[in-house]
Structure 1
Amino acid sequence: MPALTEATQRATVASSALPGRRRVLDLPEMRWAAAALVLFLVGLAVQLMGGPAWSWWVLYLASYLTGGWEPALAGLQALRDKTLDVDLLMVAAAIGAAAIGQITDGALLIVIFATSGALEALATARTEDAVRGLLDLAPDSATRVSEDGREETVRAADLEVGDVVLVRPGERVGADATVITGASEIDQATITGEPLPVDKAPGDEVFAGTLNGTGALRIRVDRRAEDSVVARIAALVHEAGQTKARTQLFIEKIEQRYSIGMVAVTIAVFAIPLLLGDTLQAALLRAMTFMIVASPCAVVLATMPPLLAAIANAGRHGVLVKSAVVMEQLGTTTRVAFDKTGTLTRGIPELAEIHVLTSDMTVDDVLVLAAAAEHPSEHPLGEAIARAAKTRGLRWPDSTDFVAKPGLGVSATVDGARITVVSPKGLPDNLDRADAEVVALVQQRGCTAVIVTAAARPIAVLGLTDQLRPDAADAVAAAARLTGRTPVLLTGDNETAATMLGDRVGITDVRAGLLPHDKVDAVAELQADGTRLVMVGDGINDAPALAAAHAGVAMGGAGSDLTLQTADAVVIGDDLSAVSTVIALSRRARRVVVANLIIAATFIAVLVIWDLTATLPLPLGVAGHEGSTVIVGLNGLRLLRGAAWRTAAGAT
């Protein structure tokens, strides 16, 4: 609606201008809508309890004022620009209702429209906050190194292409750049979605906002701050959101035609009988009756209760759907796309394979030595090895002389022997052909390979991989059954790991090695033929794709702040099966909406025709109007029942 769109624009401006995040809970639209709702409910209670008429009239009129002044003002401004919108007509209808004594109807109408505007403004403000939060990932300052080796702290935004920057252990990378000296591991899950830190050496690319590990790096800046990958993610989210907003133009055109038609008919209903000799009071009563019975209250309730009831039901089962529009969109889904890390997998490494290379040791012997060496390490792979040893009930001795080699591995003295746990590239000269074949086999299976040595002799190859969610395969199968099309996998991880996971969960369309803008391109390609794609992801790198897709669903347990704000729906409990269930629930809600619209349109058509062709008694007109409202409202509220969720789950 035009007034709601203007409210959204005001919220966007406010969101961009003010710092902090708590302001989204302090939007004026929310305060006015809440006040209107409270006043309406109090007035209704006083009326039902038989209070004096003046008391509940005062409360209803106060509800009119608090909830109706803003859409009325917006409608008058639109009228000044020679545009007529439904919001102004609804305010007029509410005033007309009060004029003939039906103030309860008018107050309810005011509350509905005020609440809708507040919810839209809130959603827009929170999205703008989230985009700004993404940009906060990049550090404010960086250590620039001059040609003569001097170090100076500068603003990251002032870095130029070609500058050399020092990144110390534990710092965030200040710019998209190339490593020129040093070695370390970089946690770049926020950009690529890869579950494990990536070893970096001279010649490798690093991204602004990613987190350096235990080594020091000198990097050469490749892009200015405004051109960095993290900045482009924010831009993509904003652009995708703007593209969605333009789809409302068609709705506004329909509203404009309806508004003009309703005004013309109302004037005619008043003027023609008056010209034909009817009394002023009778003509006015007929016109107000027409305005009441033609009021789209039943149409509004035909749509909102089913969708809001479905939202509430989904919320009770761990799925947050952000608006009625989103709930309606989910029901039109024709294909589902999944991210890999943190979505189909847990994003936590686990020890999957142990290959002993010597006959004088057992699996437990190797695992005890590796765990003892890795125990002081904070690297996720080391934690996975120690966790695997604990799971087996193994105890390991204390280690001494622990040394971490960034990008390579660790070494320590355990029971007098020097034990190392290193990447294969850390032992290029110490692997014979048979050992190298074992390493290659582990890597071909999509695992990260590390080698355990004792006294410089390789004794085992360990394979580590990301943990697959136990419900991943079932969730993929449910999505395929529901949409009739096999889901697609979009991931920043490598081709081998992605293909292996696709085979395990039943996905054949695998697209790997995707940066955030690549995922947006993939979403656009998938939707080019009219496919309505739901994108399911969890990381910041998924946010642009979530915004670009027909609907975006975030896995909320480990989801990034931006992703949770950008997504249209959030699975709070990380239950993948809930994705298909909420789509099925949305489809049922859409069917109820269609049924309600038919009921509402039938009542309105009959009452309007009656009023135009005969004399429709006002009490009967109000009863018919209210009766249709009650019928469609109760029909929609059926989706609040737990049985509705269970039915939707069974449909998948």
Structure 2
Amino acid sequence: MRWAAAALVLFLAGLAAQLLGGPGWLWWALYLAGYVTGGWEPGLAGLKALRDKTLDVDLLMVVAAIGAAAIGQVMDGGLLIVIFATSGALEALATARTEDSVRGLLDLAPDTATRLSVDGGEETVRAVDLEVGDVVLVRPGERIAADGAVVAGASEVDQATITGEPLPADKTAGDEVFAGTLNGTGSLRVRVDRRAADSVVARIATLVEEASQTKAKAQLFVEKVEQRYSIGMVVVTIAVFVLPLLWGAALQDSLLRAMTFMIVASPCAVVLATMPPLLAAIANAGRHGVLVKSAVVMEQLGTTTQVAFDKTGTLTRGAPELAEIHALPAAPFTENGLLRLAAAAEHPSEHPLAAAIVRAARARGLVLPPAAEFSAQPGRGVAALVEGHHLQIGSLSAMLAASEVTAETADTVAMAEALQDRGLTAVVVLCERRPAGVLGIADQVRAEAVATVAAVTRLTGTEPVLLTGDNQATAARLATRVGITDVRAGLLPEDKVTAVRELQAGDGRVTVVGDGINDAPALAAAHAGIAMGGAGSDLALQTADAVVVRDDLTTIPAVIALSRRARRVVTANLVIAAAFITGLVLWDLIGTLPLPLGVAGHEGSTVIVGLNGLRLLRAAAWNRAGRHDA
């Protein structure tokens, strides 16, 4: 990257010196220094490819740049060097960052664990040394060291990194837990069911690596024909030089004709026909909150045939909100009264559900009375004394175990189960051990989700798919709200990869939008991956091909539409460049093309396609894309 940056600085310095009328030797020296700093890596790579009997376009560009300098067009050659050096450096940087993030993923699981012996003793061991059947102690706030099952204790575990669930899951004896997930306020004893190398978090790292390696190497359109074009150009250049000599032409005339051919046939205009529109589109998208990592990605986004959305943190904000309040008819409270007392009891708690209840009460302007005798039971709920009322708040199963059986019990069960069937989390409130009401809590849907789903449907002609690790009821509720009918729920990371590959069977080109570690394998396997930047995991941000920096979903259809427009501009530019190259080449082969005129025609086509591509820098281009004019 530093060599590419140095080449760019030297090129700009040379250009400034030339435009300001500086001495010729100065700007020539600056340009040539840029040739060396930016050209040695692609030149060396091209020579290595040549040794393997492959003609690399990078080598061809270096030769074309040297040829341009040989006939006095040193600035044009410097521009080619900068473009290719920068492109190669960005690709290498993206690859290195992804590899670093995959290695960092394995750091989620702790290095050590507290293993319990048969006699109850404790010893600290390396997590990689844990064997199947070992029992480990997980204290409050610790990360779980291995995949396994809870054998004793109760707590809530944040396992969003694995399943994408927005809320911590209550865990008691018999429940499954995963390495790398975060334990809450309780203590757990976990029996190890998988070795460290076989854990879910290790499999995620493997999936990302495999998907990145097996994913076909993406290329720009112009790169797909570079090998044949490069070979053809070299062969014809040699022929243009050698054949006239065999027929008795003068050496100087043959050399001049061959040099003219190499200049007018070199793919400078073709390269500039492709890169400026895509780079301009990248810059425009960046100004509006979408980081597209390369020109290849910008080109690929426009070919999307279907979009697959993650749920938590993508279509939703990943933060719970109170959606419904149901006070039982026999309870002595109105809805606001029930919410006021429940929020007062939950106020000392650190649980995300408690925070959602407190926020809802404050949003309604309710004044919370103080709570006394507060206690929290991990995985079960809280209890407190509020204004003389003994309140207990928790899950349906925990509250049924703690309450007296009354006439309201059946109503409470029916009400809670109805909420759960609709994808909400049911929180039961007891007053004096008798059911008083049920609160329904859901993840917050992003305000722009409905419009975004409709927009990508119009753009691609195919309805999006919802891929989530959350349960079916919750996923179906969200899908109904945003307008998605194809819902695939309860998916682990490898299941998401399988789903993406199924969608891409045939000629499908799926763009996956996600934010979590569990989304990273699917982002890597997809035709294009887009990560939500606000709360996205490091692995997702590095694996994705593009990042929505401000978490604005409406930019996703906008950047797809902008990509499609950039592809149309590229096509138009290629037609212009091909017409100029064909005309100049035929003139040189059939007639006698003066070198200055050949250079002028070549540079003229370069300027035309370059200016045409730069139109995508204008704000109007993004505004048009924002209207989803594909």
TM tier relative to shorter chain: over 0.9
Matches of 2:280 and 2:496, distance apart in 1: 33
- Equivalent residue for 1:642? 619
Contact 2:222 2:271 in 1 (8 A): no
Partner SS for 2:215? helix
Matches of 1:259 and 1:416, distance apart in 2: 86
The verdict on how the C-alpha distance between 1:270 and 1:58 changes in structure 2, with shifts beyond 3 A counting, is same
Q: What amino acid does structure 2 have at the position aligned with 1:368?
A: R
Matches of 1:391 and 1:339, distance apart in 2: 29
- Equivalent residue for 1:512? 489
| 2:95 counterpart of 1:124 | yes
- Equivalent residue for 2:53? 82
- Equivalent residue for 1:13? none
Q: What amino acid does structure 2 have at the position aligned with 1:466?
A: D
Contact 1:233 1:517 in 2 (8 A): yes
Tell me by how many angstroms 1:251 deviates: 8.2
| 2:564 counterpart of 1:592 | no
- Equivalent residue for 1:375? 347
- Equivalent residue for 1:18? none
Matches of 1:341 and 1:320, distance apart in 2: 21
| 2:577 counterpart of 1:606 | no
Task: Mark the runs of 5 or more structure 1 residues left unpaired by the alignment.
Answer: 1-29
CA deviation profile, 1:29-75 (whole Å, cap 9, x unmatched): x1111111111111112122222221111111111111111122222
- Equivalent residue for 2:364? 392
Contact 2:218 2:296 in 1 (8 A): no
Tell me by how many angstroms 1:529 deviates: 2.9
Tell me by how many angstroms 1:360 deviates: 2.1
Matches of 2:204 and 2:340, distance apart in 1: 44
Matches of 1:231 and 1:211, distance apart in 2: 16
- Equivalent residue for 2:304? 333
Q: What amino acid does structure 2 have at the position aligned with 1:630?
A: V
Deviates further, 311-320 or 354-363: 354-363
Partner SS for 1:136? helix
- Equivalent residue for 2:32? 61
Partner SS for 2:566? helix
Q: What amino acid does structure 1 have at the position aligned with 2:546?
A: A
- Equivalent residue for 1:242? 213
| 2:264 counterpart of 1:293 | yes
Q: What amino acid does structure 2 have at the position aligned with 1:34?
A: A
Tell me by how many angstroms 1:262 deviates: 1.6
CA deviation profile, 1:226-256 (whole Å, cap 9, x unmatched): 1111111111111111122545599878433
- Equivalent residue for 1:543? 520
- Equivalent residue for 1:51? 22
Partner SS for 2:324? strand
Partner SS for 1:528? coil
Matches of 2:327 and 2:48, distance apart in 1: 78
Contact 2:102 2:205 in 1 (8 A): yes
- Equivalent residue for 1:180? 151
Matches of 2:49 and 2:513, distance apart in 1: 39
Indicate the percent of aligned positions where both proteins have the same amino acid.
Answer: 74
Q: What amino acid does structure 2 have at the position aligned with 1:202?
A: A
Matches of 2:368 and 2:627, distance apart in 1: 49
| 2:338 counterpart of 1:361 | no
The verdict on how the C-alpha distance between 1:154 and 1:249 changes in structure 2, with shifts beyond 3 A counting, is farther
Matches of 1:132 and 1:330, distance apart in 2: 28
CA deviation profile, 1:475-503 (whole Å, cap 9, x unmatched): 11111111111111111111111111111
From 438, 441, 459, the equivalent of 1:482 is: 459
Matches of 2:194 and 2:39, distance apart in 1: 50
Matches of 1:375 and 1:122, distance apart in 2: 47
From 410, 426, 430, the equivalent of 1:433 is: 410
- Equivalent residue for 2:278? 307
Contact 1:100 1:285 in 2 (8 A): no
Partner SS for 1:651? coil
CA deviation profile, 1:238-291 (whole Å, cap 9, x unmatched): 111112254559987843332222221111111122232222222211111111
Matches of 2:169 and 2:237, distance apart in 1: 69
| 2:533 counterpart of 1:525 | no
Matches of 1:97 and 1:488, distance apart in 2: 51
Contact 1:337 1:535 in 2 (8 A): yes
- Equivalent residue for 1:166? 137
Tell me by how many angstroms 1:93 deviates: 1.8
Task: Mark the runs of 5 or more structure 2 residues left unpaired by the alignment.
Answer: none
TM-score by length of 2: 0.96
Matches of 2:124 and 2:220, distance apart in 1: 49
Q: What amino acid does structure 2 have at the position aligned with 1:76?
A: L
| 2:444 counterpart of 1:462 | no
Matches of 2:73 and 2:150, distance apart in 1: 73
Contact 1:97 1:288 in 2 (8 A): no
| 2:601 counterpart of 1:630 | no
- Equivalent residue for 2:12? 41
From 468, 474, 480, the equivalent of 1:503 is: 480
- Equivalent residue for 1:5? none
Q: What amino acid does structure 2 have at the position aligned with 1:56?
A: W
- Equivalent residue for 1:8? none
From 363, 388, 398, the equivalent of 1:416 is: 388
Deviates further, 234-243 or 89-98: 89-98
After superposition, residues 107-256 of structure 1 pair within 5 angstroms as 107-246=78-217, 254-256=225-227
What is the RMSD of the two structures over their aligned residues, measured on CA atoms? 1.5
Matches of 2:71 and 2:363, distance apart in 1: 76
Matches of 1:594 and 1:405, distance apart in 2: 65
Matches of 2:107 and 2:74, distance apart in 1: 50
CA deviation profile, 1:340-386 (whole Å, cap 9, x unmatched): 11111111111111111134211222112111111110000011111
The verdict on how the C-alpha distance between 1:247 and 1:364 changes in structure 2, with shifts beyond 3 A counting, is closer
Matches of 2:64 and 2:416, distance apart in 1: 76
* Pairs aligned (count): 623
Contact 2:381 2:394 in 1 (8 A): yes
Contact 2:137 2:189 in 1 (8 A): yes
Matches of 1:597 and 1:360, distance apart in 2: 76
- Equivalent residue for 1:323? 294
Q: What amino acid does structure 2 have at the position aligned with 1:437?
A: A
Matches of 1:531 and 1:280, distance apart in 2: 55
Matches of 1:439 and 1:337, distance apart in 2: 31
Matches of 2:221 and 2:584, distance apart in 1: 28
Matches of 2:231 and 2:444, distance apart in 1: 60
The verdict on how the C-alpha distance between 1:441 and 1:512 changes in structure 2, with shifts beyond 3 A counting, is same
Matches of 1:359 and 1:127, distance apart in 2: 56
Deviates further, 247-256 or 166-175: 247-256
- Equivalent residue for 1:283? 254
Q: What amino acid does structure 1 have at the position aligned with 2:58?
A: D
Q: What amino acid does structure 2 have at the position aligned with 1:213?
A: G
Matches of 1:115 and 1:422, distance apart in 2: 57
Contact 2:222 2:270 in 1 (8 A): no
Matches of 2:505 and 2:53, distance apart in 1: 37
Partner SS for 1:376? coil
Deviates further, 476-485 or 103-112: 103-112
Matches of 1:247 and 1:388, distance apart in 2: 48
